[in-house]
Amino acid sequence: MSQALPAPGTHGEKHKPSSSAQSRLPGTKDVTEEDLQREVEDLRSENDYLKDEVDELRAEMEEMRDSYLEEEVYQLQELRRELDRSNKNCRILQYRLRKAEQKSLRVAQTGHVAKDVSVRLHNELESVEDKRSRAEDENELLRQKIIEVEISKQALHNEMERTKETALRRRGSRETFKDKKSTSQEDSADLRCQLQFAKEESGLMRKKMAKLGREKDELEQELQKYKSVYGDVDSPLPLAECSGGGPHTTREAELRLRLKLVEEEANILGRKIVELEVENRSLRAENEDIRCQYERDCFGREPFSSMPSSPYGGDALESASELRRHLQFVEEEAELLRRSISEIEDHNRQLTSELNRFKFGPTSSSGLVGEEGSEGGLFKPGNGGNGNGSSSGMMMEELKSARMQINELSGKVMKLQYENRVLMSNVQRCDLAAHLGLRTGSPRDSDAESDGGRREAAEDEEARRLLLLHPKREGPIGGESDSEDLFEKTTTTSGFGSIKPSDGSELSATDLANRRREERESFTNVKREAERLGKTVDRLITDTDSLIFEGRLLVTTGESLEGGAAPETNRTPKFWTPSTLA
Indicate the residue type of 428.
Q
Determine contact, residues 443/302, Cβ cutoff 8 Å.
no
Q: Is residue 117 within 8 Å of residue 581, measured between CB atoms?
A: yes
Whole-number Å distance between alpha carbons of 562 and 136: 10
pLDDT at 552: 55
Best-predicted range by mean pLDDT among 82-86, 170-174, 203-207, 566-570?
A: 82-86
Please give the single-letter amino acid code of residue 242: C
**pLDDT at 238 exceeding the cut of 70:** no
pLDDT of residue 444: 43
Whether 407 is covered by a domain: the verdict is yes
Q: Alpha helices, DSSP H only, in 231-315?
A: 239-243, 247-301
Query: What CA–CA distance (Å, rounded) separates 246 from 231?
Result: 19
Distance (Å, whole) CA 139 – CA 157: 27
Is the pLDDT score of 152 beyond 50? yes
User: What amino acid occupies position 143?
Assistant: R
Q: What is the DSSP letter of 236?
A: P
- How many Å from the N-terminal Cα to the C-terminal Cα in the chain? 104
pLDDT tops 90 at residue 515? no
Mean pLDDT along residues 384-402? 60
The number of beta carbons lying within 10 Å of the beta carbon of residue 227 is: 19
Q: Which of 481, 207, 484, 379 is nearest to 371 (CA)?
A: 379
- pLDDT band at residue 178 under the 50/70/90 scheme: low
Distance CA 357, CA 402 (A): 12
| Closest among 453, 431, 432, 449 to 441, alpha carbons compared | 449
Where does residue 197 rank: exposed (0-12), middle (13-18), buried (19+ CB within 10 A)?
middle
Name the residue with higher pLDDT: 250 or 383.
250
How many whole angstroms separate alpha carbon 324 and alpha carbon 317? 10
User: What gap in Å lies between CA 260 and CA 233, rounded to an integer?
Assistant: 13
Residue 154 in contact with residue 190, Cβ under 8 Å?
A: yes
Domain extent for 439: 247-302+311-356+390-468
What is the per-residue burial (b if ≥16 Cβ within 10 Å, else e) of 427-454? bbbbbebbbebebeeebeeebeeebeee
User: What's the pLDDT tens digit per position in 532-555?
Assistant: 766 766 666 666 566 556 555 554
428 in any annotated domain: yes
Question: Is residue 559 situated within a structural domain?
Answer: no
Per the model's pLDDT, the better-predicted residue between 260 and 492 turns out to be 260
Dihedral sign computed on CA atoms, order 552, 557, 559, 563: positive
25, pLDDT greater than 50? yes
Longest dimension (CA), the chain: 220
What's the CA gap between 340 and 83, in Å, rounded?
80
Q: What is the pLDDT of residue 478?
A: 41
Rounded to the nearest 5 degrees, what angle is found at the Cα of 350, between the Cα atoms of 480 and 258?
A: 20
Position 44 scores a pLDDT of 92
| pLDDT of 58 higher than 80 | yes
One-letter amino acid at 550 equals: E
**pLDDT tens for each residue of 31-45:** 888 899 999 999 999
Please enumerate in sequence order all residues whose Cβ is within 8 A of that of 338, keeping only pairs 6 or more positions apart, or say none: 280
Judged against a pLDDT cut of 80, whether residue 121 lies above it is answered with: yes
CA distances from 504 to 118, 490, 498 (A): 49, 21, 11
546/540 Cα distance (integer angstroms) = 10
Residue 564 DSSP one-character state: T
Residue 143 domain-assigned? no
CB atoms within 10 A of CB 300: 9
User: How confident is the model at residue 276, as a pLDDT?
Assistant: 79
Model-wide pTM > 0.85? no
In 3-state terms the chain splits into helix, strand, coil percentages (rounded to 5) of 85, 0, 15
Residues in the chain: 582
Per-residue pLDDT at 506: 42
Cα four-point dihedral sign 506, 512, 517, 521: positive
Query: How far are the Cα atoms of 7, 507, 524, 534 from residue 530, in angstroms, in the given order?
Result: 99, 33, 10, 6
463-468: long-range pairs with CB below 8 Å, 24+: 465/214, 465/414, 466/411, 466/414, 468/214, 468/218
Average pLDDT over residues 245-264: 66
Report pLDDT digits (tens) over 154-170.
888 887 887 777 777 77
3-state secondary structure 138-179: HHHHHHHHHHHHHHHHHHHHHHHHHHHHHHHHCCCHHHHHHH
Lowest mean pLDDT among 73-82, 165-174, 303-312: 303-312
Query: CA-CA distance, 7 to 43, in Å (whole number)?
Result: 10
Q: Over the stretch 516-537, which tens digit does the pLDDT of each residue have?
A: 777 777 767 766 766 776 676 6
**pLDDT of 247 higher than 90:** no
- Cα distance between residue 81 and residue 577, in whole Å: 60
DSSP state of 79: H
Can you tell me the mean pLDDT for 482-511? 45
To 10 degrees, the CA torsion angle through 487, 490, 491, 496?
-150
pLDDT digits (tens, 9 = 90+) for 442-482: 444 444 444 545 555 555 555 555 444 444 443 444 444 44
Average pLDDT over residues 50-57: 94
Q: How confident is the model at residue 196 (pLDDT cuts 50, 70, 90)?
A: confident
Q: Please state the rounded mean pLDDT for residues 332-354.
A: 73
Task: Name the band, by pLDDT with cuts 50, 70 and 90, for residue 51.
Answer: very high
Per the domain annotation, does 286 fall within a domain? yes
| Residue 86 pLDDT | 92
Instruction: Tell whether the torsion through CA atoms of 113, 115, 121 and 123 is positive or negative.
Output: negative
Predicted local confidence at residue 492, as pLDDT: 42
- Check which CATH number belongs to the domain holding 261 and give it: 1.20.140
Higher-confidence residue of 551 and 441: namely: 551
Q: Residue 27: its pLDDT value, please?
A: 63
pLDDT band at 96 (very low <50, low <70, confident <90, very high): very high
Residue 349 pLDDT > 60, yes or no?
yes
Residue 235 falls inside a structural domain? no
Residue range 122-151: mean pLDDT, rounded: 85
Into how many domains does the chain fold? 1
Q: Is residue 294 part of a domain?
A: yes
The answer to whether residue 50 sits within a structural domain is: no
User: What's the rounded Cα separation, in Å, for the pair 178 and 275?
Assistant: 50
pLDDT band, residue 141 (cuts 50/70/90): confident
Look over the chain and give the mean of its residue pLDDT values, rounded to a whole number: 66
Residue 4 DSSP label: T
